[in-house]
Structure 1
Amino acid sequence: MRKEETVDYHIKVVWHAISRMYNQGGAMKGITASSGFVLLNIDQDEGTPATKIAPLLGMESRSLTRMLKTMEETGLIYRERDTEDKRSVRIYLTEAGKKQRDFSRKAVIFFNDKVREAVSPKKLEAFFDVMTTIDNVIEENKNLDQKIQLIENE
C-alpha cells in the first residue's frame, strides 16, 4: 500500500498544514497552534481543572504540563487550588490570555468559514461521520500498539 492510499497519511498531512497555518498566524501574537487550542478550552469565568484539559485536546498530560508551565511563564494563564477540592488545580486566563484566546477563536472561526465556503454541507457531514468512525476504531482498539508489535514479531 502506498502512503497516499493510507488514511493516516492524509490526516497527518492536512493536520500539519493546519497547524503550520495557525503557527504562522499566531507567531505575530506570540502563541502557537497548541497554546491557542489550550486557551480555547479554558473556561473564561470558572477556569478549568488542569486534569480536564489534556483529554479535551487528545494530548498526553506530560506535554500539557510543559505547555502550561510555558503559558504561565509568559503570563497567559495562572493556577489556583480548587476551592471545593483542595487536591485539584484550576487553570484561569489572565487578561493577556483572554486577548490571545479571543484572537485564537477568531482565527478558528475564519478558517472554518473558509472551509465551509469551499466544501458543501453534505461533504462536511460525511467528513465528520468518517472522522467519528476513525476515532471509534481507535477507541475500540486501545491496545493497537500491542497488536502492531505482535504483527511485527510474526
Structure 2
Amino acid sequence: MDKNKSIDHQLRATWQAVAKMYNEQAAKHNSTMATAFALLNIDFDAGTPSTALGPLMGMEPTSLSRLLKTMEDKKLIYRMKNPNDGRSVILKLTDFGKEMREVSKGHVYQFNNKVREYITDAELENFFKVTTTINKLITDKLVYEDINKDAV
C-alpha cells in the first residue's frame, strides 16, 4: 500500500508535525507540549484531582508523575488535599501556571484559527466525523475482530 494513501501514516505524520510545532512554541517559553497540555487540562479555578488528569491526557501514571514534579519545580502548579476525599490530591494552578495556561491557550487558538482559514466548515465537519469514527472503531475493538475465537 502506498504510504501516502495509508490512513495510519497520514494520522501519524500529521500528529508528529503538530507535536513538533507545539514543542517549538513551548520551547520559547522554557516548556514542553506535555506541560502546556497539562496546564490546559487543569481547571483554571477549581483545580483538578490528580487521578483525573492522567485519563484526560492519556498518560501513564509514571510519566504523569514526572511531568507533575517538573511542573511543581517550575512553580506552575501546587498540590492541595482534596477537601472531599483526604486520600486524594487536587492539582491547582499557581498565578504563573495560570499565566502560562493562557499562553498555551493562545497557541492552540492561533493554530485552530489558521487551519480554519484554509479549510471550509464542511471539510472540518468531515474531518471530525472521520476521526470520531476511527476512534469509535478502535474503542469498540472493531478493527481486529477475532473471527476465529474458538480456533485457538
**TM value normalised by structure 1:** 0.88
Give the secondary structure class of the aligned counterpart of 2:75: coil
Structure 1 residue aligned with 2:56? 56
Q: Deviations over 1:36-71 (max 9, x none)?
A: 011001011110011111211222222211111111
Paired with 1:31 and 1:73, the residues of 2 have a C-alpha distance of 12
Amino acid at match of 1:111: F
Paired with 2:102 and 2:138, the residues of 1 have a C-alpha distance of 32
Paired with 2:120 and 2:84, the residues of 1 have a C-alpha distance of 46
What RMSD, in angstroms, separates the aligned Cα atoms of the two structures? Answer: 2.1
Q: Does 1:94 align with 2:98?
A: no
Structure 2 residue runs without a partner (length 5+):
147-152
Q: Which moved more, 1:92-101 or 1:5-14?
A: 5-14
Structure 2 residue aligned with 1:114? 114
Structure 1 residues 79 and 143: alpha-carbon distance in aligned structure 2, compared to 1, 3 A threshold = farther
Paired with 2:137 and 2:49, the residues of 1 have a C-alpha distance of 28
Q: Does 1:30 align with 2:35?
A: no
Structure 1 residue runs without a partner (length 5+):
148-154
Structure 2 residue aligned with 1:138? 138
Deviation at 1:143, TM superposition (A): 9.9
**TM value normalised by structure 2:** 0.89
Structure 1 residues 52 and 142: alpha-carbon distance in aligned structure 2, compared to 1, 3 A threshold = farther
Structure 2 residue aligned with 1:46? 46
Query: Could you list the runs of 4 or more consecutive aligned residues of structure 1 that deviate by over 6 angstroms after TM superposition?
Result: none
Amino acid at match of 1:68: L
